[in-house]
Amino acid sequence: MIISFYSIDEELNKVSFKSDAKKVNNSIIFEDKSVKDTIINLEIYDDKIIIDRSGFINTYFEFRLNEFFNTKYKSEEGLEFEFKIFCNLLEIKQNRIDIEYDMILDENIKFHHKLWIILR
Instruction: Give residue 73's domain range.
Output: 2-119
Give the residue-averaged pLDDT of 105-118. Answer: 94
Average pLDDT, the chain: 96
Residues 111, 5: contact at Cβ < 8 Å?
no
Q: Cα–Cα distances in Å, from 11 out to 32, 58, 112? A: 22, 23, 9
Give the residue-averaged pLDDT of 89-106. Answer: 95
| CA 65 to chain CA mean position, Å | 14
Percent of the chain with pLDDT over 70: 100
Summarised one tens digit per residue, pLDDT across range 56-66 is 999 999 999 99
- Domain with residue 100: its CATH number is 2.40.128.20
Summarised one tens digit per residue, pLDDT across range 18-34 is 999 999 988 999 999 99
The reported pTM is: 0.94
Q: How many domains does the chain have?
A: 1
* Nearest to 1, CA basis, from 98, 78, 94, 110: 94
Checking if the pLDDT of 36 tops 90, the result is yes
Bridge partners (DSSP) listed for residue 53? 40, 59
Radius of gyration of the chain (CA): 14
DSSP readout, the chain?
Answer: -EEEEEEEETT--EEEEEEEEEEETTEEEEE-TTSTTEEEEEEE-SS-EEEEEEESEEEEEEE-TT-EEEEEEEETTS-EEEEEEEEEEEEE-SSEEEEEEEEEETTEEEEEEEEEEEE-
Summarised one tens digit per residue, pLDDT across range 37-58 is 999 999 999 999 999 999 999 9
pLDDT at position 26 is 85
